[in-house]
Amino acid sequence: MNKHEKPQQDAYPVPDPQEFARNMVKVAAQSQRLVTDFMKGQAAQAKGGAADPLNLTGTFLEFLSHAMRDPTAIWQAQFKLWQGYMELWQNTALRLMGEQVGPVIEPPAGDKRFKDKEWTENQVFDFIKQSYLLSARWLQNTVGEVKGLDEKTRKKVDFYTKQFADAMSPTNFVMTNPEVLRATLTSNGENLVKGLDNLLHDLERGKGQLSIRQTDMEYFEVGRNIATTPGKIVFRNDLLELLQYSPTTDEQYEIPLLIFPPWINKFYILDLQPTNSFVKWATAKGYTVFVASWVNPDARLAQKTFEDYMREGIFEGLDAVEKATGSRKVNTIGYCIGGTLLSATLAYMASKGDDRVNSATFFAAQTDFSEAGDLQVFIDDEQLQSMEEMMKASGGYLDGSKMATTFNMLRSNDLIWSFVVNNYLLGKDPMRFDLLYWNADATRMPINMHMFYLRECYRQNNLATGRMVLGGVKLDLSKVTVPVFLQSSKEDHIAPYRSVYKSTKLFKGPVTFMMAGSGHIAGVINHPDAKKYQHWRNEKLPESVEDWIAGAKEFPGSWWDYWDGWLSEKSGPKVKARVPGDAKLKVIEDAPGSYVKMK
């Protein structure tokens, strides 16, 4: 044993045999109930459902048919894996004899699974860790090197292979996770008893489907300690409530700001807490801020279309802002799918000579979906057909939990498996975290609108190619000449910066593109006071995003002040601050309104 290593028995004490046995009996009883409840839930879900809604059978059969055509490549991959294991065994033997040796393989930067010191200091767990990493690398490399697959099939195989590798991580099992094993022995198994209680509770909450609790859902309440920036609801229709926020300055810019968040989630990602609220910050900068709070649709609204969201959302929102402020010109923001809708609407408005939108800012929003990231693995004809049938059977909408699961799978180690370990294996309650509360506060999707969006954008890319039709108008983004600000994020897995950059070649007015650090949420919601991350700027727009990055300059911290400098020049002179309800629109109720609280 290396003299620097602690005796393993200190970390793993022998439990109280009687207490441990009693808890194991409880675990066995709970496990039996768990299996029974799970099977009942699966049987109920299976009625009328597709046997393979993700179309994995056909995908992997195609992969195997191509893999078998080149057995030499498979043999070479096996040989590389064997070499890796031989080196690992040799290093482990040398370490057991007291020698210092480096690892054969290490987790990638940012991998939080192996942060417990035992994964490095304990020889057994270090061997388990490296053995897993070698196998996972071999599996993904072997899949990635199969020749002859079309690009979409390859991406789908790669994605689900990674999902399998992540699921098989030793961190996800009691006996191969040192932190869990330590907790099990020191608590006489209490962690497993509590963990199974948590698991049963989550199954009951999900009505037979596992609904993992990512945060303390009882602690947060919309309007009490989250989404608390003062304001009023000044307009309401079937699809949205319009929030006008109370001024915090004596004067405001003449041209108001209207924000269209994604309807896939609730609007208050822009107003989580006072310390990270974009809405509160923008109000303090002197903008008259309006935000669309989309309804959480049910079967009554199942037939609402993408065009309805344009007419009842953007058009009626613009009308309402004009009544509330007297300003015909409006600056706009579209976030994610809200930005896609805004892009399509701008093309429609350009064809009609409607010039009410003064400028458009896009947060993590795509118009060209040819490189739309990992979400493309869920979009093929078979999966879309299965989704449509499921939505029809559910009353004409997609349940919010389905969308939440899809997005969680894109970062499964952070948003699924870390909570499996914390909640079910360690038996802990999740921490209080506003962002994860918002992430779990899912919304439903009307069938007509959602299927149009998936097929027209993700499947056929019709918006970028000029083939999308709304209101009888074939949309042409090259007719959009208003000033555009495009925000992207370096690590965004939902709207990749390569995809966002393609919009610079679609709009024909003045375009500013910038890239923030972090991802789809943290790259956007990054208050300057937090002094986190960084962002890159380059006023030139070369043909490729790689050339843009090569010529970009890095700046520390948030990009919000940079955007404020851009928008303030387009917002007109200062006027007396507008108080909600003082103009043609009267107050309906206090912010954050009723729609955001719909479950």
Helix (H) or strand (E) holding 499: helix 497-501
CA dist., res. 44 & res. 36, Å (int): 13
> How far is Cα 492 from Cα 371, in angstroms, rounded to an integer?
12
User: What are the chain's domains?
Assistant: 8-39+55-188 (no CATH), 231-399+442-597 (3.40.50.1820)
Gap between the Cα atoms of 292 and 266, Å rounded:
10
Mean pLDDT over the full length of the chain? 90
Q: What is the pLDDT confidence band of residue 169, given thresholds at 50, 70 and 90?
A: very high
In contact, 371 and 406? CB cutoff 8 Å: no
Q: CB-side exposure of 245: number of CA atoms within 13 Å?
A: 32
pLDDT given at position 85: 84
| pLDDT at 403 (0 to 100) | 83
Nearest to 558 by CA among 491, 500, 496, 487: 487
Q: Which of 82-91, 334-343, 482-491 comes out lowest in average pLDDT?
A: 82-91
For residue 4, name the pLDDT band (cuts at 50, 70, 90). Answer: very low
When mean pLDDT is compared across 19-23, 84-88, 143-147, 464-468, the lowest value belongs to: 19-23
Residue 79's Cβ-side half-sphere holds a number of Cα atoms within 13 Å equal to 6
Long-range contacts of the stretch 18-27 (C-beta < 8 A, 24+): 19/188, 19/189, 20/188, 20/189, 23/188, 23/189, 23/190, 23/192, 23/193, 24/189, 26/193, 27/189, 27/192, 27/193, 27/196
Helical packing angle, 17-46 and 190-205, nearest 10°: 20
pLDDT surpassing 50 at residue 27: yes
pLDDT digits (tens, 9 = 90+) for 49-74: 555 666 677 777 777 777 777 777 77
Helix residue ranges per DSSP H, 149-247: 151-167, 178-186, 190-205
Which of 12-26, 138-152, 355-369, 530-544 shows the lowest per-residue confidence on average (mean pLDDT)? Answer: 12-26
Percent over 70 (pLDDT), the chain: 91
68: CB partners within 8 A, 6+ apart: none
513 residue type, one letter: F
Q: What is the DSSP string of 517-568?
A: SS-TTTTTS--GGG--SEEEE-S---SSHHHHHHH-EEEES-SHHHHHHHHH
The DSSP call for residue 268 is G
- 3-state SS, one letter per residue, for 240-267: EEEEEECCCCCEEECCCEEEECCCCCCH
pLDDT at 9 (0 to 100) = 46
CB atoms within 10 A of CB 109: 5
Which range, of 77-81, 186-190, 198-202, 420-424, averages the lowest pLDDT? 77-81
Angle formed by the axes of helices 178-186 and 190-205, to 10°? 110
Q: Catalytic amino acids?
A: 336
More confident residue, 533 or 381: 533
Q: How many CA atoms lie within 13 A of 529 on its CB side?
A: 7
Which of 21-30, 239-248, 463-472, 584-593 bottoms out in mean pLDDT, i.e. has the lowest? Answer: 21-30
Rounded CA gap, 44 and 128, in Å?
39
Please tell me the number of Cα atoms within 13 Å of 368 on its side-chain side: 17
Beta strands in 312-458 (DSSP E): 330-335, 357-363, 397-398, 445-446
Which range among 67-76, 321-330, 433-442, 495-504 shows the weakest confidence by mean pLDDT? 67-76
Q: Can you give the pLDDT at residue 594? A: 98
Q: What pLDDT shows up at residue 48?
A: 47
Question: What pLDDT, on the 0 to 100 scale, is given for residue 377?
Answer: 87
- Give this prediction's pTM: 0.88
44 pLDDT above the threshold of 60: no
Q: How far apart are CA 595 and CA 137, in angstroms?
A: 46
Q: Band of the pLDDT at 38, cuts 50, 70, 90? A: low
pLDDT tens sequence across 271-285: 999 999 999 999 999
Number of helices (H), then strands (E), in the chain: 22, 17
CA distance 465 to 476: 8
The predicted-structure confidence for 95-113, as pLDDT tens digits, reads as follows 888 888 999 999 998 899 9
pLDDT tens digit string along 181-227?
999 999 999 999 999 999 988 888 877 778 899 999 999 999 999 99
Residue 264's nearest CA partner among 42, 454, 424, 129 is 454
Instruction: Please report the sign of the dihedral spanned by the C-alpha atoms of residue 447, residue 451, residue 454, residue 456.
Output: negative
Q: Evaluate if residue 46 carries a pLDDT over 50.
A: no
